[in-house]
Amino acid sequence: MKATASLQLGQQLHLTPQLLQSIRLLQLDALQLQQEITQALAMNPLLELEEEAPVATADGGPPDPAGAAALETAAFDELPEPSMWDVAGASWNEADDDPMQRVAEPASSDPFVRVLQRLALELPDREMEVAGFWLEHCDDAGYLDGDHQALLMRACARFDMDPARIEAVRWHLLHGEPAGLAARDLRECLAAQLVALPGRVPGRPLAARILEQCLELLAAHDHAAIARRLDAEPADVEEAVRLLLSLQPRPAHAEAEPAEAGYVVPDVVVWHADGQWRVALNPATAPRLTVNSSYERALAQAGEGAGRMRELLQEARWLTRGLSMRYDTLLRTARVLVERQAAFLERGEEAMAPLTLREVAEAIGMHESTVSRITSGKYMQTPRGTFELKHFFAVRLEGASVSGAAVRAMVRRLIETEPPGRPLSDDAIAALLARQGVNIARRTVAKYREQLNIAPARERRRAAAPQAQAG
């Protein structure tokens, strides 16, 4: 047996403590990051929390990795209202000034209770009782469940307040977060959401006129009639209608379920202004740390001593750079997601485009594992709702140019709109989809239907039979 020796050449990544810390910071969710920063501030006197963290946006170039003031930002008057940054807390004690404690408190699974938890930071006790009354008289969708004037008079008698004060609390709910809550009807709900949209929004004035004068035509999808009645250009009407369709007709549903660790606070906020989608980090979940300049200068002038302080200085620099890397990566990733899924933001699940981790990684020049870490447990608030970033990834349907998520939404729509008493079979659904250019097998339709927890056609027919007889 001949002994041989071989030389293997290759690249090996040396995981330094700094790199390991940066990787760990990428995968923390908002609450874990707040806890990490709180601990670092308590342990390292060289670290300082910036009083007003700059809001990085993806409208221009990517933010400076150093996290300095040279970050390209959106105009502050175009940023969403402060209510978009509110952090829910279970404690209603006004003397509690610890924002980290508010973030850490678990939130109720009841959406109306979560609204009250946030209002507790804004309203005095008496108004809080009135807010509870209004929410008590909202249905599951978030609308008043009775006559507005009758409820107003009942509240006046219960709380011994004048009507204007009672109505002011409802107005606070209507124009709070989520906008449209405690509305009298759909028109008032959507009008409140239009007002809440930040910045200069193309189509908003015309959308308001459509709500005021053409709601029945909007429901009938008669855009041509809307254009005639309002003497508007068809293209302008289409833009205004798209804006209205991006709003939430069931405002209580926008109050998404909290994560197991507590209420979900968005890491990224997306809104539409000046004809384009804007992306910004949420300052509440992107605190910025700096190294105390006085300490830094003193250590630069010191001799060989102060060894422990030099270690703290190095740790402080590592943490600030790691945070800048996190924010930069999160912002650039969110920008790509919004660019690739703009149709979803405008039209909903049926417009969800196929998108993979690899495609996003290539777009931002990073590894797939980095994109996976930065999208896990991070949330994006959009006009359509709040979603985990991973929601924007969708598998391409084999042999088609659409995503599986889009086809699943199409299946849901076809079943929801099927004729009463004449449910569509899986074969019929596949045939209808084929007419729309989506060719899938019957078994694929069945798979998506089961994912939606929808019974087969024969069971839906049996369930509809007693209702038809009763009718």
Is residue 387 in some structural domain? yes
- pLDDT tier, 356 (very low <50, low <70, confident <90, very high otherwise): confident
The residue whose two tokens read 């405008």 is 346
Confidence band of 46 (pLDDT split at 50, 70, 90):
confident
Does 356 share its domain with 451?
A: no
Is position 451 within any domain? yes
372 and 320 within one domain: yes
Here the CATH number for the domain that contains residue 464 is 1.10.10.60
pLDDT at 95 over 60: no
Q: How many domains does the structure of the chain reveal? A: 3
392, 430 contact by CB (below 8 A): no
Residue 247 tokens read as 């709003």
User: Ramachandran region of residue 183, left (φ > 0), alpha (ψ -120 to 50) or beta?
Assistant: beta
What pLDDT, on the 0 to 100 scale, is given for residue 305? 61
Residue where a domain stops, chosen among 352, 373, 393: 393
Q: In this structure, are 144 and 59 located in the same domain?
A: no
Residue 72's region, left for phi above 0, alpha for psi from -120 to 50, else beta, is: beta
Q: What's the farthest any 2 CA atoms get from each other in the chain?
A: 102
pLDDT at 363: 95
Residue at 193 is within a domain: yes
Q: What's the mean per-residue pLDDT of the chain?
A: 77
pLDDT in the model for residue 467: 52
Cα of 376 vs its chain's centroid, Å: 14
Residue 115 lies in a domain: yes
Q: Establish whether the linkage from the previous residue to 65 is cis, with ω within 30° of 0.
A: no
Q: Is residue 352's pLDDT more than 60?
A: yes
Alpha helices in 28-124 (DSSP H): 30-43, 99-104, 111-119
Chain segment 61-81, per-residue pLDDT in tens: 333 333 333 333 332 223 333
- Note whether residue 198 is domain-resident: yes
Residues 27 and 159 in one domain: no
Report the percent of the chain where pLDDT is more than 90: 28
Residue that is last in its domain, among 343, 367, 393 = 393
Give the residue-averaged pLDDT of 415-431: 86
In the chain, the amino acid numbered 285 is T
Residue 254, pLDDT score: 67
Higher pLDDT, residue 96 or 217: 217
* 358 and 465 fall within a common domain: no
Residue 12 falls inside a structural domain: no
The three-point CA angle 120-126-130 to 5° equals: 85
Report the C-alpha gap between 196 and 84 in whole angstroms: 10
Domain extent for 141 = 108-254
Q: How far apart are CA 156 and CA 376, in angstroms?
A: 48
Residue 263: pLDDT band (50, 70, 90) is: low
pLDDT score of 389 more than 90 = yes
In contact, 46 and 300? CB cutoff 8 Å: no
Convert the pLDDT of each residue in 424-469 to its tens digit: 899 988 888 888 778 888 888 888 888 888 888 888 888 766 554 5
Indicate if the alpha-carbon torsion angle 24, 26, 32, 34 is positive or negative: positive
* pLDDT for the residue numbered 330: 96
Same domain, 325 and 236: no
What amino acid occupies position 338? V
Same domain as 272, residue 244: no
> Per-residue DSSP letters for 304-328?
S--HHHHHHHHHHHHHHHHHHHHHH
User: What pLDDT, on the 0 to 100 scale, is given for residue 53?
Assistant: 44
Same domain, 121 and 234: yes
The answer on 195 and 282 residing in a single domain is no
Q: 116-122 contacts: CB < 8 A, separation 24 or more?
A: 117/88, 117/89, 117/90, 117/92, 117/263, 118/86, 118/88, 118/89, 118/176, 118/177, 119/172, 119/173, 119/176, 120/89, 120/92, 121/86, 121/89, 121/92, 121/94, 122/172
Residue 87 inside a domain? The answer is no
Report whether pLDDT(56) > 90: no
The whole-number pLDDT of residue 294 equals: 77
Note whether 114 and 215 are same-domain residues.
yes
Domain boundary among the residues 393, 415, 449 is at: 393
The separation between CA 270 and the C-alpha centre of its own chain, rounded to angstroms, equals 7
> Which tops the pLDDT comparison, 15 or 93?
15
Sign of CA dihedral 87, 91, 92, 94: negative
Has residue 313 been placed in a domain?
yes
The 10s digit of each residue's pLDDT in 101-138 is: 333 334 444 677 778 767 776 778 889 889 989 988 89
**Structure tokens given for 172:** 């606070």
Q: What is the pLDDT of residues 179-213, one digit of tens each?
A: 899 999 999 999 999 988 876 778 889 999 999 99
My answer on whether 138 and 46 are in the same domain is no
- Whether 66 and 195 map to the same domain: the answer is no
Q: How confident is the model at residue 21 (pLDDT cuts 50, 70, 90)?
A: confident
